[in-house]
Amino acid sequence: MRIIDRYLLRQFLRTFLICFVSLTGLFIVFDAFANLDEFIRCGKETGGVWLLLGSFYAFQTIAFFDRTAGLITLISAMFTISWMQRHNEMTALQSAGISRIRIVMPLIATAMAITALSAANRELVIPRFREELTKRPQDLIGDKGQELQPRYDNLTDILIGGKWTYHNEKRIKQPRFLLPPELSDYGEELAAADAFYKPPQAGRPGGYLLRGMTEPKGLAKLPSLTSKGETVVITPHDAPDWLKPNECFVKSELTFDQLTGGRAFKEFSSTAQMIAGLHNRSLDYGADIRTKIHYRFVKPLLDITLLFLGLPLVVSRENRNVFIAIGICFGVTTVFFLVEIACQSMGAKSLLDPALAAWAPLIIFVPIAVGLAESMWR
């Protein structure tokens, strides 16, 4: 590696770290002060506010890197080149017979490495800490009731609802399960004081254990209910060894996290987990998740395309004003992200095919990036 390559890499990585640390710090300061009361309340329960803050924002920093890596990479590369131009270093190198593309090659290689690191973070690291990342400052320890939006279990056609959910216990308070016609022999709904999610165990399916049954009356003496050849509602009549008289069990492949996690749960899942969700009979992943899956495959290419849109605009300019470079970067990035968001929105609303919605920004911007990159070869 040449001395000039090491010089460029030091300048690029220094700028990248400064930008990332600065943006992360601003995010933490604003978010922490906005939710300070909640952190103090939860800190009293867990043994310390500072420990809680450190733990919470350590996980949030991982997600923040995923969101900003592409943009910060572009800013760092453009700033590095602009700084060289400002001090006539680019002119000196070109006078020595070194082409523009050779000068910026270390930046391109490093940017690709950061893109690969971001993809690995998105697929391997973030899913491991999905539960921590989905927590909100308002419910850090899971003891505060969250409103439950009713959701259908598409395997059994049961509408799962309730008043509140408590993540620390995986509990639904005052659950009300609306039953389909084929399961309504004893009434149209199941109501109880609480429902607890139970994962599959040896000899037992996964689902929700309802305790303190209020509807229907006398369920303990009635046989279990079946639908499509499968037992769905298990009563104490058929399982007296593990169900008490005031309990019943509703079979479901819809986990508690999938029931309550919503958009955040999907965002922090890996591509493999989202694809597996398409085959989960209890879930109904629509066009938005299908678009998201395609987008995951395209995201590294989009980050590289963004780099090749912005970098040539600075490399080929003779103007050495750093602020003009920043303005160009802002304009290019804004247009790029607006098109990207618009395509994803249309894909989520089924206005575009999910695959086309994810690939459309590449179809639009890759020819432009190739045309702009030609100036760097001269």
pLDDT band at 181 (very low <50, low <70, confident <90, very high): confident
Domain co-membership, 63 together with 100: yes
Residue 224 and residue 288 share a domain: no
- Domain count of the chain? 2
- Confidence at residue 138, expressed as pLDDT on a 0 to 100 scale: 65
* Shared-domain flag, residues 232 and 320: no
Residues 236 and 291 placed together within one structural domain of the fold? no
Asked whether residue 273 is domain-assigned, the answer is: no
Identify whether residues 41 and 153 lie together within a single domain: no
247 strand-pairing partners: 211
Q: What is the pLDDT of residue 316?
A: 67
Amino acid at 148: L
Domain assignment of residue 175, yes or no: yes
- Say which range, 102-106, 114-118, 159-163, has the weakest mean pLDDT: 102-106
Confidence of residue 61 (pLDDT cuts 50, 70, 90): very high
- Whether residue 319 is predicted with pLDDT greater than 60 in this model: the reply is no
| 256 close to 131: Cβ distance less than 8 angstroms | no
Q: What digits encode the pLDDT tens for the residues 249-302?
A: 999 888 887 787 666 667 788 888 888 777 776 676 777 888 888 899 999 999
Highest mean pLDDT among 1-10, 30-39, 268-277, 356-365: 356-365
CA-to-CA distance for 5 and 13, rounded, in angstroms? 12
pLDDT at 112 (0 to 100)? 92
- The answer to whether residues 154 and 96 belong to one domain is no
Task: Report pLDDT for 22.
Answer: 93
The verdict on 130 and 212 lying in the same domain is: no
Confirm whether 268 is domain-assigned.
Answer: no
Q: Is residue 267 part of a domain?
A: no
Tokens for 95? Answer: 């006078």
Alpha-carbon distances of 356 from 263, 344, 346, 368, 369, rounded to whole Å: 22, 9, 10, 18, 19
Are 238 and 296 part of one and the same domain? Answer: no
Domain membership of residue 276 (yes or no) is no
Range in 70-79, 81-90, 194-203 with the lowest mean pLDDT: 81-90
Examine the fold and report which residue of 200, 228, 261 is the final residue of a domain before the chain moves on. 261
197 shares its domain with 314: no
Q: Does a structural domain hold residue 184?
A: yes
Q: pLDDT band for 142, please (50, 70, 90 cuts).
A: low
pLDDT tens, 207-257? Answer: 999 998 888 888 888 888 888 778 888 888 888 888 888 889 999 888 887
- pLDDT of 325 over the 70 cut: no
Indicate the pTM of the whole model: 0.76
**Contacts with 1 (C-beta within 8 Å, 6 or more apart), sequence order:** 106
185 and 238 together in one domain: yes
What was the pLDDT predicted at 21?
Answer: 93
64 shares a domain with 12: yes
Residue 141 domain flag: no
Q: Are 197 and 120 part of one and the same domain? A: no
**Average pLDDT value over all residues in the chain:** 83
Please count the residues of the chain: 378
Q: What integer pLDDT is reported at residue 35 of this predicted model? A: 81
Q: Which domain holds residue 317?
A: 3-134+284-377
In this structure, are strands 189-198 and 176-178 parallel, antiparallel, or unpaired?
A: antiparallel
270 within some domain:
no
